[in-house]
């Protein structure tokens, strides 16, 4: 028994070692998220090591191969591939015998379960994910030993099954905890880098907006004076009017830059979210019709927030406009508002081209746009700045080819509970 315990702990130490080596390599050589192929290589090497150092007890090869399979399946979506590879490696190393035949249905079931559970698992909170990982490995261990006991292959001591199950639960808990710590560290590092970029862009935007606005206003004024000169007619007057229109457009862009740099809440008052939402949707109906987009609105009971309704409207306008433009060949746009006692939630979902995980992570970075040369990313930057100024938060779900869901939440204020103090708190930021 002591020999088995030492062997399993050695297995676990090797799995942890490979995890740390590949994570250190990721942090040292990759500023972007660690490439999935390297995640697979790390888990695959851990799987090989577990199988290579398997220990035979009563004809059964015992090891911790389930740990890299379950971690790879739940966190990285590699469960089916790792499960099938483990069966192949097990056959190549120890023969395609009756024992392998007995556990094959279990591993195929595990592969299917991990594949189905992966999207759901990633939506859970960190502590819940650790608990689910431990539960799955305990269930699979119990099922495996049950199948082996029912078949002709038997294990002489029940203590062996309990020890292996215990070590696997401890191991999967440690691996899951370390994976969560790595994910959290990567998230905070990315957020810090993004905050630094946004702060730098904010200072630049404020300076540029101030320096450019003055000569722009002067040029616009002189051109407007020139249009009043009756001696200027024909093409020349048309050129001047075109220049004036372009200067107005430049002013709008500069205003967006300034809003991004300093999203000040000028008129802070309680207002009805649903009324503003209806106005924004109505103003974007021509754009939706032009793109053959069907707009579906699900607006629930009236709900209020405190803030600048102009900025709120601008925020939603940019987000919904992006959703419509993500469906150049037509599609369906759904705008759904709901409220609880504490918050108001607005879901904006489209059936457009969708985005990859990397694209979603970069949204809101200065001057990053998924539209290529057609966009600057400024509109979404402004929207996110406004959301933060209104004490709100946001979440984005997207899959390539399936569309994007943008969820915005703001603190809810019931009309009976509105007070000057609450309004001053929002106004002061």
Q: How far apart are CA 164 and CA 141, in angstroms?
A: 8
> Token pair of 180, please?
């969560």
Same domain? For 174 and 209 the reply is no
Tell whether 421 and 331 lie within a shared domain: yes
Return the pLDDT at 405. 93
For 48-76, the pLDDT digits (tens) are 888 888 777 766 677 788 888 888 889 88
- In this predicted structure, what is the pLDDT of residue 376? 61
Question: Do 87 and 172 reside in the same domain of the chain?
Answer: yes
Q: Please, how many CA atoms are within 13 Å of residue 177, restricted to the half-sphere of its CB? A: 8
Tokens at 140, concatenated: 């699979």
* Confidence band, pLDDT 50/70/90 cuts, at residue 261: low
Pairing assessment for the beta strands 268-272 and 304-308 based on DSSP bridges:
antiparallel
- Is 105 found in the same domain as 173? yes
DSSP letters, 77-139, are: S-HHHHHHHHHHHHHHHH-S-HHHHHHHHHHHHHHHHHHHHHHHHHTS-HHHHHHHHHHHHHH
Q: How confident is the model at residue 171 (pLDDT cuts 50, 70, 90)?
A: confident
Average pLDDT, the chain: 79
- Longest pairwise C-alpha distance within the chain: 108
Please check whether residues 188 and 198 belong to one and the same domain.
no
| Model confidence pTM above 0.75 | no
300: left (phi over 0), alpha (psi -120 to 50) or beta: beta
pLDDT score of 420 more than 50 = no
**Sequence-distant (≥ 6) Cβ neighbours of residue 146 within 8 angstroms:** none
What range defines the domain where residue 149 resides?
Answer: 2-192
Q: Are residues 246 and 342 located together in one domain of the fold? A: no
Return the SS3 of 32: coil
Q: Do 96 and 218 lie in a common domain?
A: no
Closest CA to 81 of 108, 121, 61, 116: 108
105 and 236 part of one domain = no
Residue 408: which pLDDT band, with cuts at 50, 70 and 90?
A: very high
CATH number, position 393: 3.30.565.10
Indicate the pLDDT class of residue 374, thresholds 50, 70 and 90.
Answer: low
* Separation between Cα atoms, residue 397 and residue 307, nearest integer Å: 26
Co-location of 102 and 147 in the same domain: yes
Cα dihedral angle (169, 171, 174, 178), rounded to 10 degrees?
-130
Considering 242, 261, 280, which residue would you say is the last residue of a domain?
261
User: What is residue 377's predicted lDDT score, i.e. its pLDDT?
Assistant: 65
Gap between the Cα atoms of 225 and 194, Å rounded: 45
């Amino acid at each position: 028994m002591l020999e088995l315990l030492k062997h399993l702990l050695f297995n676990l130490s090797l799995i942890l070692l490979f995890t740390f080596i590949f994570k250190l390599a990721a942090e040292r050589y990759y500023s972007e998220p660690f490439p999935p192929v390297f995640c697979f290589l790390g888990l695959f090497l851990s799987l090989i090591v577990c199988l290579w150092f398997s220990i035979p007890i009563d004809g059964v090869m015992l090891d911790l191969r389930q740990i890299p399979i379950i971690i790879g399946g739940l966190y990285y979506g590699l469960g089916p591939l790792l499960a099938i590879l483990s069966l192949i490696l097990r056959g190549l190393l120890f023969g395609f015998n009756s024992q392998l035949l007995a556990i094959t249905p279990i591993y195929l079931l595990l592969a299917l379960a991990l594949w189905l559970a992966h999207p759901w698992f990633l939506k859970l909170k960190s502590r819940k994910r650790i608990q689910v990982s431990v539960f799955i490995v305990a269930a699979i261990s119990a099922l495996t030993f049950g199948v082996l006991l029912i078949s002709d292959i038997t294990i002489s001591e029940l203590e062996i099954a309990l020890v292996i199950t215990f070590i696997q639960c401890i191991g999967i808990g440690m691996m899951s905890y370390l994976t969560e710590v790595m994910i959290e560290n990567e998230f905070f590092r990315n957020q810090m880098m993004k905050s630094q970029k946004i702060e730098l862009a904010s200072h630049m935007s404020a300076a540029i907006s101030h320096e450019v606005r003055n000569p722009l206003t002067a040029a616009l004024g002189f051109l407007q004076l020139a249009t009043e000169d009756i001696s200027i007619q024909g093409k020349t007057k048309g050129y001047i009017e075109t220049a004036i229109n372009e200067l107005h457009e430049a002013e709008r862009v500069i205003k967006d830059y300034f809003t991004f740099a300093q999203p000040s809440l000028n008129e802070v008052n309680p207002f009805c979210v649903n009324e503003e939402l209806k106005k924004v949707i109505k103003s974007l109906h021509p754009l939706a019709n032009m793109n053959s987009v069907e707009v579906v609105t699900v607006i629930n009971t009236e709900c209020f927030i405190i803030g600048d309704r102009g900025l709120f409207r601008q925020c939603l306008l940019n987000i919904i406009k992006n959703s419509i433009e993500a469906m150049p060949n037509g599609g369906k746009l759904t705008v759904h508002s709901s409220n609880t006692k504490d918050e108001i939630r607005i879901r904006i979902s489209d059936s457009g081209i969708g985005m990859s995980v990397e694209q979603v992570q970069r949204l809101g970075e200065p001057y990053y746009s998924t539209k290529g040369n057609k966009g600057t990313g400024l509109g979404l930057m402004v929207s996110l700045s406004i959301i933060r100024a209104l004490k709100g938060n946001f979440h984005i779900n997207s899959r390539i080819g399936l569309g994007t869901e943008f969820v915005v939440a703001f603190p809810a204020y019931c009309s009976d509970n509105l007070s000057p103090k609450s309004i001053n708190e929002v106004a002061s930021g």
